[in-house]
Every structure is written in C-alpha cells, then in structure tokens.
Amino acid sequence: MCIPVTIASIFDPTKMAVRVTSSSLRPSDLDLTGYHQPALLPFKAAQKGLHLTMEAELTPSSAAGEQFSRLFSKLRALRPSDSPSFKTELNLLFDQLISENHSSSFTNENIRPEDVCSLLVHASRLVPHSQEHLVIKLCQLTHQLLNQLQVIADVQTLHTLVSYCTRALRTCSSWTHTEILLALSSLVYGNGPRCQQHLPQLLGQNGILLNYSDSCQTDLELRRSAVHCMANLCLGIPGHPYLEEPYKHICYRIFIQTLQSPKSPGVEEIAFCTLLQSALKGLQYFLSGEKWRASPDQELGSLLAVIKKYMFYGLPGINVEMPRVLYPAPLPQYETIPTVRAEPPQDVSAQRQTTATHPSKKRKSRGRGKKARAEGGNGGQEEGEDEDPRCGGDVGEVRGKGPAEQPRPPAHLTPPSLPGVGAQLCPPWKKSSSDSEFSDPEGGMQSKLRLYHARVRQGALHCFLATVKCVEKKVLYGYWSSFVPDTPGVGSPPSLTLLSIALKDLSPKARAGSLQVLSALLEGSRQFLSAAEDTGAPRQAFTPFSATLAASIRELHRGLLLALLSESSSQTLTQVIKCFAHLVSNVPYSRLRPGLLSPLWKQIRPYVRHRDVNVRVSSLTLLGALVSAQAPLPEVRLLLQQPCSTHGAPASGGSTPRGAPSGWRHPSRGEPDSASESGPESPCWLLQLCVALVTQPREEPHSDSDATGSASGSLEPSPVRLEALQVLAHLVKGYFPLAQTSLLELAQLSARCLGEQDASVQLHGAKLLEELGTGIIQQYRTEASQSETVSAVPVGQVVLFWSEVLTGPLIGALQNEQHPTLQTSACDTLSCILPQAFSQLPDKTQVLCITLLLGLTYSENSLVKAAAVRALGVYILFPCLREDVMFVADTANAILTALDDRSPNVRAKASWSLGNLTDTLIVNMEAVGLDFQEEISDMLLLKMLLSATQASADKDRVKSNAVRALGNLLHFLQPAHLSKPAFQLPLQHAMRALTDTVRGDTTMKVRWNACYALGNAFRNPGLPLGTAGWSEDAYSSLSTAVTSCRNFKVRIKSAAALSTPETRDRYGDARQFAEVWRSLAGALERSGDTEDFLEYRYCASLRAQLCHALLHLVALCRPHDLPAVAASLDGRSAPELRGFLVRYLCGDTPTPGRGDDDAAAQAEPRDGHRAMDRALSRLKELQAEATMDGASALDAVRGFLEDVARCCEDLKASDGPDTPPADRRPSQTLP
C-alpha cells in the first residue's frame, strides 16, 4: 500500500500528520516491522524540519465531524494484535486523525468532548509501550486533539492516560520522552487537583517531573517539557479547587530555581528562552490561583527580584545584575547597568547622513525581515506583532521615530537627563543605520532572538501582574521604589523601572504589559499616595518620605508624558492613557505644587480625535479623571476657563505625536477650534467638546478599530458617546459653576439621550440630569460666606429647567418596565429637584411626580422600589409637602410596606425614609402645633411604632435609621396616645429596643443613633420617665455607654441624653439619681482613657458635655440626693473633677456641642456659667430644706462648687497664662 504525498501538503503546517524532527527521532529507533518502505519518511527531509502528511487534501471543515466519527468507528473496531496489518492500519488511522485540522469553531461544535476522551482511552489500549513509534503518534494525537478542540480530560480519561504516560516515561527510550511529556502536559492542563493519585509519581521524592526539571538535566528540551507540564498542573480553573500542598510549593520552588539558574555554556539562547517562558508561565499560574501566603521558602522579595530580572531580559543595551532578594525600602536598591559609551557627535551625524543617502538599504532591511518571517513560519507573523519596525537614528531620539518625523518635546519634558537616559537604554544596534554588518541568515536569527527575548519579558510582566493581584497592596508598596522611579537620574545611570520598559522596549506587547502592571499598582493607591507632599520649602538636612513620594509622582507624570508622545501602537497608546487615568485618580494634587496637570491637559486633547476608537474612549476617561480628581482643583478650574484656542489644533511642539493624516481625525463641526468662538461668557470648551461627541455626526466613515464601519454622517460609536456623557457628569459634579451657563442646553442633551433606543445612552442621560439637579441643590445649600462667591442659578431658571425635563422623555423612562435600571436612575433624578423650584411647578406636574413615585414603590424590581422609596423620603422634607396630611399618610403607608420587603436594600432605603418622615412629624409638631398632631390617625402612628421597633432588630444599615425613627415617634406621641391601652405594650417594646441597641455589639453609628433616640424620647413630657419599669433600663444602658464605650462620640451623645430630663422626678428615686451621677463623674475622671489615639480629638467635647451634665444634675437634686453627690466630691477624684470644671467654666474646653460635629445644638460660651448659677441657686434653696443629716453633705457640695467658681474668678483676674489649679496633678492636663 502506497501513501500519496504532494508538495503542497509538505509545506502546509496545518496538514501535519507525522512530526519527525532530527532532535526527537533517529532511523535506528524506528521499528519498521510490518511497514512498506514508501510509508516511511526520508531522514534527510526530517532533518530539514519538513512536516509531511499522508493525504493530499484535507477533509472540508463542513464534514470534519463526520470524518472524525468515521475514523473513530474504525479505531474502535480494532482489537490489540501483533500482526503487521494491525500496526499498519493503526498507524494509518493515527496519521489521518493527526492530519485533520480540528481548530475551527465548526469542528469544535460537531465533535463531542466525551468522544475525544473515549477515542484516546481506546487508542491507549491498542498501543503497547514496546511500539515506541506508535507511542509517539498517540502522544501527538493526544496533544493535538486536546489543544485544538479545547477539551479538558474527564476523570476516567485522565487517570487512564496519565498512568499510560508515566509508564511510558519509565519504559520507553529517552528520545520519546519529550513527546510523552507534551501529551502529559495537555492531559493535566487545569486538572491538577484531579491528579492526586498520580502526584507522588510526578512530584514526589524522585518523581519523574522533578528529575527531568532538575538543573542538572542536560537535555534542555526535556527539561522545558517537564517545567511546562508542572506549569499546567498549577493552572486553576475559577470555581474549582487548586493544586494542594505540598505539591504546589514544590512546583513553585522548581520555577524559582529554574529562573535563578544561569544559562549553561553551549546552550542555545533561543532554547533557553523557551525554558524561561515555561517557568514564567508556571509562576503566573501559581500566582493566579490563591492569595499570597509568605513562608520561609516563599519570600516575596525573592519572587520580585526574579521578576525584575526577567522584565529586562534581552533588552538591548542592558545587562542587569539583580540581587537575589529585594527588600522593602524607601529608596531603590543597588543594580548594575553597564555604561554604554555614546558615539561621538560627528559619527552620529555621519550615521544620519548614511541613512538619508541610502534609502535602498532601508527597503532591503524590510525585505530581509519578510524573508525571516517566511523562514520562521508562524513565528515570523508574531514577530511583526511583537516588535516595531526600527531604523537607525540618533541616541537621543524618542523610540519609534526618525529624525524627520520626531516632534520636539515641550520644554517641561526635556530635562538634562534625557540624553543620559537615551545613552543608557538605547540598544547599540539601533544607533547604526548600516545594514551591511549582518548577512540575510544572521539578520533573520537576530530578529528571531529578539522575538524570544520579548516573550520572556512579557512572561515576567504577566507574572508581575498576577503578583499585584494576589499580594496585599500595603505589602507591595514597600517595594514601590524598586519599580517606580523617583528621580530622572541626572548625572547617574537611570534606575530600571516599569517606565524604562514603557519608554524603551521594542515590543509593543511588552510596553503594554508594563503599563498594565503600573496601572494595577496605581489602582487603589490613594491612601498610600496621600502621604506625598511637596508644597512647602525643600529641606536640606534630610529628605522626608513625603517628599520622596512626591518626587516619584512627578517622575511618573514625566515618564508617562514621554510615553504618550512617543508611542506608535494604538493598543499600547490606550494602555498609556489608561495608566495616566489611574494615576490622576489617586494622586493628592492638593498636597503637591501646581503644574502637574497642565502639560497632560494640553497633550491629551488631540487624542480625542484619534482614529482608533479605544484611544478616543481612554482619552475621554482620562479627561473624566482630571475633572473628578479632588474636584474642584484650582489648576483644573483655570484650565477649563482658558480659551479654546489653547486646546484646539495642536501646535508644532509635539502635541500631535502622529502627524500623519491616517492616524488622526479632523475637528468635528461641533468642536470649538478658534479663540473667536470662546468669550468670557461662552461655555467651557470641554463641555462643548463632549456635547459635540454625543450629538454631532462624525465625518469619517469609520475608524481604525471600528472594522464594521458605518455610513458617513452617523454618530460616534456608542463607547465614545457614553464616555463623553460620563465626562459631562464629572464636570457638572465637580465644576458646576462652569456648567451652569449651559443648563438648558444640557437639559436638552439629556432629553435627547433619554429619547434614544440605546438603554446605556438613556441611563447616562438620566445620570447627567441627576448631577445637574444635585449641583443646583448644593449651590443653595452653600453658605454665603465662601471666599469665592458664585451666584446660584435663579429659581425661575431652575423651574424652567425642570419643566422642560418633566415634559420630556423622563416620564417615559419612569414607566419603562423593560429597563428597571433606567427606572431606578429616573427615580434618583426626580429626587434631585430643588424644593423651592418644586413648589413653583404646576400642580399637575407635582401630582404626576408624586403619583409615579408612589406607584413605583410597589414595583416587582427591588432596585426600582428602593429608589422610589428613597425619593419619597426626600419629598417628605419639602416645605410645600410636609404639612399635607394626605401626602404624609400616603408616604407613610408606602414606606411601611417597603419595610417588610425581602430585599435588604429596600428595607434600608425605607428605614432612611421613615426617619425623614418622623423628622417631619417633629418639625410640624413644633411649627403647626396640636392641629397637625390630631390629624394624624392613631392607627398610622401605631403602625409606624411597631414597624420601627421591628426594623430595629434588622441589619445595621436598617437599624441605624429605625432607632432614629423610634426616638422621633416617642417624642411625638401625646398623652392622649399614651393613655390608650393599644400603645402600652408597643411603648415598652420600643424602649426595650432602644436600650438593647445602646448596650448591643453593633456599629458605633447605630449606637450613636440609639443614644440620640433615647435623648429625643426623654424630651417628651408625656412619657412616664422615672416611674415606668423601662426607665431604670434606659438610664442603666446610657450610664454604661458613657463610661465604657470606646467611641467618644457615643459617650458624648449618651451624656447629652442623660442631661436631657428637665425635672427631678424624671430621674426616678435617689438610687437611680445616684447611679446616673456616679456614672457621669466616673466618665469625666476616665475621659482620657482610650485605646484609639484618633478618639482624642473628641476628648475636649466629651469633658465639656460631662461637666454640663453634672452641673445640670446638681441644679435638679433634692436633699436625699446630696450624700451620694458629696461622696464623689470628697474622695481622691475631687481635685481632678475640680480641674475639669474650672477649665469648662473658663472656656478652655468647648461648650457642649462644640467639637462634636453631630451634636444637635451648639451651646453658647456662657452656658457653662448659667449652669453653675442654676446649681448654686438650687443649693441655696436646699439650705432651708436640709436636715441635720443632710447638712454636711450640702455644705460639702456647696463648698466644692464655690471653690470651683473662686478658682475660675482668680484665673480670670490674674489674666495670666491658662494654668490648672495648684492642687491639680500634671497628668490632668487636657490633651
């Protein structure tokens, strides 16, 4: 039987059936028994690396599934035999299966994974280990089917074939082991945890993979295959378990040892690069699995040192001698960069002249590149993607540009260090434009070597990215200086950082990878970077960390600006701009000297017109970050106010990095491009630009990345329009005074977006409306005493604005049940109406808004329901609505219904709205009086009381507002309500809920609200405080909080609640009064005890509130209360209490409420003296009532207070420094 072979099939790698190479197969190793000679391949052809096939043409892809089934049926019909015909037929079936191209998507859909597994298992039973040539073909078939069809072997197939491969590795000849390991790596891909029973043979003591991956292994290809197999073992699939210890740690150790081992003499560089790629891939899989857990054998410093070493591997002109371990340090560690001597100026000029006078050599160079790609097969195609075409140029040139094309960087980007950076990092081969130094084969090998070096660097950067994701940021920031520069390197070799790769690497993928890592480091770094500061004068003696960090931020801006100007790849350019956006979002510009944002602002404008959609979108993202970073920043405000000509068409100074017309779009008709269009009253240029991007048609038919294209005159792609709307929202939020002149124009834009079919555009239009409404409300809330006064939008214009909005498509969006997210955003927009403007809207418009919101509270979607309930909670505070009893009742019923919802989010919003509703009840009670209280039905009040009590046992986000509502309700109830039996039990439950919350282990916000609620309830004179059974629990819980709570704001609020009752009867009997007094006195004595240093900022306010409470109790005391009061003033704590009271009366501490941001009332400085006067007056009144037993106690208390008053007067009379009394210890000094 002869097998036809055609020339076309020989050179088509997709029709490969038998892969025979000189490195893996020798003629003496073949068992030729039972085979016809024509079926064998000539060995010389195999030495040339030709891939042969046994069929002239492939089966069409439409019939690939049937062909596979036919061959599978034939294979399944075979039974093991030693006959030559069986071997021949099995060999032919293997060749036919291998020759098929299974990589098409149609084939993947028509071949079931279980059939693939069954075929491989059956084939393994037909091939004995003695037939090594068939073993190789089976391994090739296994690798091809699992890879091309993307099949992960099931458990049975995995065990069968892994056992087969492990036996083959122990019994077959060594020349077969590479192919066997390749098949094994495909089998264990993502199956590491399922290989538990095979791991001892593979990774245990003297395991197969450990022996083959050892550094002593002479066969580098075998070592690489073993490391690749270990890498696939470490790969984890999300949602599934990962490789278990200790095998995972064994793999990590092998990866690190492989990367730390030097290249052996005589080893080819390309082969060594493939080993490094496999080790780096395994390290990436290891790091992608779980969170990093440091151990003695798994140090982060060693890992980062290895990663940094190979980040620069093979980069021309750099030979890094990296330490084996990096340590957390504020300064960069030592690293050796050999100095590259720069060419003399005349030689550089000669090189330029040679380049200019011999253009044919450039063309010849490109031709050789094509030839190299042709020789390298697929590798040549990847080389074209991985490496920029580079020509000779000056050392100082920006990467990727010749002398004629290179724009001159602006002045702020050309420090004296730039030539030095170029001299250190510019590859020597790039400096020469002569192409005569390499022959054609040598040039092809050099290109191939650069390709493999670039892949190693990319693998290291992928490992670094995985490290950033699995290690805590606060740990990584200790190594910040090793990867992020802090100085431009004037007069010394520049440090090797991520920016070095972004600026000097020839591979676009490597540059993009370094920028992705830098973006990941910058993401969420706001807290770390907040320590940077350089606003003050520089210090000469030492450099603080804040200044070092600020210098690092400035160097990041400089380096990224250089990368922005020099980048030629659109994909990498997108990463540069995204990295800039992450930097801008996290830098504390208010703590740095101005000027960092202006260069970036000027350079980013042209990229909004770039032909690539992704570049345009990322540019708008960066503009959004600029206007939202710590807004409002004075520097950004000035940039927004500058004339449009400053930001129009870029000048010749480098603002247009790609001057070719093919890469840039002309300014659209809607964009201002001259100063004549920009006047003092004209809208902000960024606002005009974004409006134009959303509304104006684009002039080009399609951009580079918009492959589908569209007719000329159509709108911008959806991502560009959405990002422009987001920029508008950020601009309105941070710089509303600059946008308020275009208020009606923005309203029309939002209405247009809401009227479109795209739900995303509608959503962003509603978000813009919400920001506009919020900006108007903030203007009316702003105090008039601000340094920069901006006139608020007139109410009449606001009414016109909302009239236009509410007669447009916003109402339709509220009723659009197909898009609940849009309904949610529309509800949020309705809640942003200015109260003064709402009252002037037509009655039918007001009724429409209220009716829609009440109806949406019964929506089936929890997000819509929560937003509608929250909007009602805003409306209930409107002055024009809060006195409407019918609206209050309807809103209360809707809120109470939402409080029983299954969604925690709905209940949280309903609880917040219920708190606002009860605030309205208190306001109306004080403003309207008894008439309003009588109009509210008892049943509704009872329902609110029961619902609030039930909600106080819910989650903390529900509970915090529920207890606030309880306090308001208990304050609102009148004696007529409290006398009814229906309210008796709910009242007890409500008070018990508040006291349990004060005592409970909840968040401090909840406990603060509970203390506030109890104080609010104590203001109701109708409550039986002091006589009811729950009174003792209420006072006891507050007494415990004021003495032992670690949060000082909770202590302040509990002390305020204890001083709320206005009569002595409400404090209960003498025992209860004494308990309250002792708790307040003890709290004042221990007011400096805290474990959290941050609480000391509230210490003065706490002492003032406690002093006020003590004087309030003295002013209410009775004769039988005096012994307990005197006892606390006679002991060792008396001098300390006297000192605190003197300071309080002398004004050295804030009066109650001052310093406490959450205090309900701000007391005047003379309140302390009033409290003292009331206390002394009360003691004088008790002089006549005191008995003989109580006279001594009265004298002691009166003497103590008179002593305090005398000390206070002496201090004022002396008019000297504020010093504590002589009997006060130094430890009593207030912080």
Q: Mean per-residue pLDDT for 1185-1203?
A: 77
Task: Tally Cβ neighbours within 10 Å of residue 1061.
Answer: 23
The answer to whether the beta carbons of residues 107 and 145 sit under 8 Å apart is no
Of 1200 and 402, the one with more pLDDT: 1200
Q: Which pLDDT belongs to residue 141?
A: 92
Helix, strand, coil percentages (3-state) for the chain, rounded to 5, are: 65, 0, 35
Query: Would you say residue 708 has pLDDT above 70?
Result: no
Query: Would you say residue 654 has pLDDT above 70?
Result: no
The answer to whether the beta carbons of residues 332 and 495 sit under 8 Å apart is yes
Quote the tokens at residue 7: 């020339």
Q: Which pLDDT belongs to residue 658?
A: 41
Q: Which pLDDT belongs to residue 405?
A: 38
441 confidence band (pLDDT: 50, 70, 90): low
1221 confidence band (pLDDT: 50, 70, 90): very low
Q: If you write DSSP's letter for every residue of 764-793 in order, what string do you get?
A: HHHHHHHHHHHHHHHHHHS-TT-SS--PPP
Distance CA 421, CA 493 (A): 7
The answer to whether the beta carbons of residues 152 and 190 sit under 8 Å apart is yes
Dihedral angle, C-alpha 316, 322, 327, 329, nearest 10 °: -50
Of 713 and 57, the one with more pLDDT: 713
Q: Which pLDDT belongs to residue 1150?
A: 57
Which residue reads 């479109």 in tokens? Answer: 756
Q: Which amino acid is at 645?
A: S
Q: What pLDDT digit, counting tens, does each position of 1029-1038 carry? A: 899 999 999 9
At a CB cut-off of 8 Å and minimum separation 6, what does 924 contact?
882, 883, 932
Query: Would you say residue 130 has pLDDT above 70?
Result: yes
Nearest-5° Cα angle at 234, 230 to 239: 155
Q: Which pLDDT belongs to residue 231?
A: 93
Query: Would you say residue 593 has pLDDT above 50?
Result: yes
Q: Which pLDDT belongs to residue 228?
A: 94
Of 804 and 38, the one with more pLDDT: 804
Give the helix/strand (H/E) hosting 601. Answer: helix 597-604
Query: Would you say residue 133 has pLDDT above 50?
Result: yes
% of the chain with per-residue pLDDT over 70: 75
Q: Which pLDDT belongs to residue 706?
A: 53
327 confidence band (pLDDT: 50, 70, 90): confident
Q: Which residues does residue 803 pair with via DSSP β-bridges, in sequence order? A: none
Query: DSSP letter at 1026?
Result: T
Q: What pLDDT digit, counting tens, does each position of 752-770 carry? A: 999 999 999 999 999 999 9
Query: Would you say residue 600 has pLDDT above 50?
Result: yes
Highest mean pLDDT among 56-60, 339-343, 645-649, 1045-1049: 1045-1049
Query: Would you say residue 958 has pLDDT above 70?
Result: yes
713 confidence band (pLDDT: 50, 70, 90): low
The answer to whether the beta carbons of residues 1190 and 1122 sit under 8 Å apart is yes
Q: What pLDDT digit, counting tens, does each position of 1039-1060 carry? A: 999 998 988 999 999 999 999 9
Of 679 and 516, the one with more pLDDT: 516
104 confidence band (pLDDT: 50, 70, 90): low
Q: Mean per-residue pLDDT for 482-506?
A: 81
Segment among 646-650, 719-723, 741-745 with least mean pLDDT: 646-650
Q: Mean per-residue pLDDT for 615-639?
A: 93
Q: Which pLDDT belongs to residue 1189?
A: 59
Of 831 and 342, the one with more pLDDT: 831
Q: Which pLDDT belongs to residue 47?
A: 36
Q: Which amino acid is at 1228?
A: Q
Query: Would you say residue 785 has pLDDT above 50?
Result: no
Q: What pLDDT digit, counting tens, does each position of 77-90 carry? A: 888 888 888 889 88
Q: What pLDDT digit, counting tens, does each position of 146-187 carry? A: 988 888 888 899 999 999 999 999 999 999 999 999 999 999
Q: Which pLDDT belongs to residue 538?
A: 64
Of 1122 and 653, the one with more pLDDT: 1122
Q: Which residues does residue 18 pair with via DSSP β-bridges, in sequence order? A: 52
Query: Would you say residue 61 has pLDDT above 60?
Result: no
Q: Which pLDDT belongs to residue 105?
A: 52
Average pLDDT score, the chain:
79
Q: Which amino acid is at 583?
A: L
Q: What number of helices (H) and strands (E) belong to the chain? A: 59, 0
Q: Mean per-residue pLDDT for 697-709?
A: 56
Quote the tokens at residue 295: 């151990």
698 confidence band (pLDDT: 50, 70, 90): confident
Query: Would you say residue 617 has pLDDT above 60?
Result: yes
Query: Would you say residue 662 has pLDDT above 70?
Result: no
Q: What pLDDT digit, counting tens, does each position of 1137-1162 carry? A: 888 888 888 876 555 544 444 433 33
- Which long-range contacts link 778-787 to residues 24+ away (Cβ below 8 Å)? 778/736, 779/736, 779/740, 780/834, 780/836
Q: If you write DSSP's letter for every residue of 162-191 in order, what string do you get?
A: HHHHHHHHHHS-GGGHHHHHHHHHHHSTT-
Segment among 55-64, 296-305, 591-600, 861-870 with least mean pLDDT: 55-64
Q: Which pLDDT belongs to residue 1187?
A: 60
Segment among 503-517, 586-600, 667-681 with least mean pLDDT: 667-681
Query: Would you say residue 1 has pLDDT above 50?
Result: no
% of the chain with per-residue pLDDT over 90: 47
Q: Which pLDDT belongs to residue 297?
A: 60
Q: Mean per-residue pLDDT for 1084-1107?
A: 85
pTM: 0.79
Q: What pLDDT digit, counting tens, does each position of 249-267 carry? A: 899 999 999 999 988 888 8
115 confidence band (pLDDT: 50, 70, 90): confident
490 confidence band (pLDDT: 50, 70, 90): low
Of 983 and 662, the one with more pLDDT: 983
The answer to whether the beta carbons of residues 738 and 631 sit under 8 Å apart is no
Q: Which pLDDT belongs to residue 908?
A: 96
Give the gyration radius of the chain's Cα atoms: 40
Q: Whole-angstrom distance between the N-terminal and C-terminal Cα of the chain?
A: 101
Q: Which pLDDT belongs to residue 8?
A: 38
Segment among 46-50, 409-413, 816-820, 883-887 with least mean pLDDT: 46-50
The answer to whether the beta carbons of residues 795 and 835 sit under 8 Å apart is no
Q: Which pLDDT belongs to residue 1186?
A: 62
Query: Would you say residue 1230 has pLDDT above 90?
Result: no
